[in-house]
Amino acid sequence: MAKARRTTHRSKTGKKLYAVRSKTGKFKDIQTFQRAHSADLRKKSKPEKAAAAKKAAKKTAK
């Protein structure tokens, strides 16, 4: 499954926004850049999870 592409916009106050569109072109989700970016940082990728599990397994084996 492909990751939804986000386009950037600006709010009236000047904050950067991320907008996700549906297949029909309507806005599906709009978030501030700050919230979207911090959520991206909190979420770990599959390789990061695998590396953490490998490190934990190595630590418990000692």
As beta bridge partners, residue 7 has 19
Instruction: Report domain extents, the chain.
Output: 6-61
CA atoms within a 13 Å half-sphere pointing along the CA-CB vector of 57: 6
- Residue 2 has a pLDDT of 57
> pLDDT truncated to tens, each residue of the chain (62 aa)?
456 678 889 999 999 999 988 888 888 889 999 998 898 889 999 999 999 999 999 888 76
Q: Output the six-digit token pair for 10.
A: 């600006």
Burial of residue 33, with CB atoms counted within 10 A of its CB: 0-12 exposed, 13-18 middle, 19 or more buried: middle
